[in-house]
Structure 1
Amino acid sequence: MLSKIEQQHYHRQLILTEIGEIGQSKLKKAAVLVIGAGGLGSAILPYLTAAGVGQIGIMDHDIVTLSNLHRQILFTTEDVGKNKATTAAEKLKRLNPHIRIIPYAEAIHKENAIQFISSYDIIVDGSDNFATKYLVNDAAIICNKPIVFGSIFKFEGQVSVFNYQNGPTYRCLFPEPPSPEESPNCSEIGVLGVLPGIIGSIQANEVLKIICGIGEVLNGKLLTLNCLTLQMDLFRFKKVNYRIPKSLNSRIYDCSSPNRNLEITFKQLVLLPSEYLLIDVRTVNERQRLSIKSFLEVSSELHIVLDELADNLSSIPKNRHIIFYCQSGIRSLRAAQLYKAKFPLEKTSSLKGGLDSIIT
């Protein structure tokens, strides 16, 4: 039963014949877990909250940074340094006091995925990395829960619904995760701020359709959107039979490179003797916006864009500790791997987490 205040709160939704009080009651009884309170989550969470989903879990271990704010509009400059899950929950409770919102200020991993996913009716994937997406997919299959999937890249986004009514899963589209070099993140390639808002809103729409039993769910269908051209395409795909894991321990959920021993932290860097050589592999525009000299006294540095590094490896001075860096550590790790492959006896490192690790 809905209280009089709830009836007023949801009035514009209740008068839709496709929803009505029966549909609104379904929403009130539903429990949805949103994994990730970043760009996608900033659109998903307010709409699910406003619609009256009875219990919403928010899972995110990350903190708010200034570079988040152009797209993660749940947060403000006053929230910088705070946990995303708990901060989002505080704001959303003011939007709708009639529902239960539970923040989990931790990352999802093999040891806790089953516990959390089994406690909810629908899982919404708002994560930003492949390791988490594959983990969530497999855990949802084990727990027999549907996933509302979303993904963004620069100006393009994707939405689908996996494992719905025994339908296709994420691995039916993408059987195995890509290598680290093939999976740059937002800090490396950028993203238009409105894109996660558009894709996240579509994800929220799919959740409401599933709960209320209305419309056509994106089951076995991948929706793609280019926000520069506004071209939207719908691709159909079929379920692929593969071995369903009995537990998550039988699989590796780590898209990181096997050459992590090449990495050096900023704290380790500042303690090194000054004989090392820094090489910035970012673009010219990135370098103009932010310099490592703002954080570190640099005695020797070169600038070689990653795309040009292979042709310039031989020009790099030898018998020195070469330290590559970029914005988030992905390109610089690739650079260190390239250099080490050509000169295996030379000492080389990549700044772990890049400049982002210093800023945050």
Structure 2
Amino acid sequence: MSLPEPMDERLRQAMLRVLLATLPGILALTWFYGWGVILNLLLAGLSALAVEALVLRLRRRPLKPELNDGSALVSATLLALALPAYCPWWLTVTATACALVFGKQLWGGVGNNPFNPAMLGYALVLVAFPQQLNQWPALHGMGLSEGLQQVFGVQPGPDGWAGATALDSLRINKSLTIDELFAANPAFGRWGGRGVEWINLAFLAGGLFLLQQRVFSWHAPVGMLAGLFSISLLCWNGSGSDSNGSPLFHLLTGATMLGAFFIVTEPISGAKAPLARLLFGAGVGLLAYLIRTWGGYPDGVAFAVLLMNLGVPALERFAEARHRPQPL
């Protein structure tokens, strides 16, 4: 009879599976945007380990358990994948430091954070530096040498290296029909954002692997995708110039699949009861659509997740009340 694995080892194995599951999305992002994706990942990963070690030293806590569990690297990886490729190095470092300090260590370390650390770091730099966070590169990006110069501020990127995303273009569109927008704007592909639709499918493949490995349950991802699909279907008004986009467009554009399978499934800041997880995911999908369509930001996943993090206690109480035996 084998003994059960210690909690630290189970956490480390789960984090390793999450990192492995991001590989299809990382490869797709790198294929479409170039070396900037890898530079983001390296900067965020190194910053996360350095900040985690520094804060643990200041708190006089042992380094080995938390540095070895992989949670800091997972948060850094998800944050790096959410940031635009070729964003300034200091932005990636700042976002990572905010995620680890304000999203994790300030609350006592792993297992205590009420907010998703990666999304908190992303949201803080998005509010502070909105211009840099909206500089998404054109497809196929730059070479390694040009990318390094762009990231470290040696020289600016060439003219036209960055442009509006499909979500941005749709939100500000006032005159073109959807068909005209897809035909005329290079940000649009066949079903969603050009290239982004394949990136979303790659993250979907990684998410299905995690479901097969039982790293998390299906409730939160299905809730988010169902919530986003339902509200976009209800608000879809065809292909006119005032259209908000089809359900398929919203499922395959922005950070939808990254959010559904790698963000809303975060076990500490998310809900615990199955019904609460389902409602948590549905709330994220609904809020993400509202922010995308009528808000001032290009995507809405980060703010949607943080807002739903605030509602987790209420969702847990509701789920508990639903399952409490009723008096005769």
TM range (shorter): under 0.3
Q: Which has the higher helix share?
A: 2
TM-score by length of 2: 0.26
- Rg larger for: 1
- Specify which structure has the bigger relative contact order, considering alpha-carbon pairs within 8 angstroms and separated by 6 or more residues: 2
Q: Which has the higher strand share?
A: 1
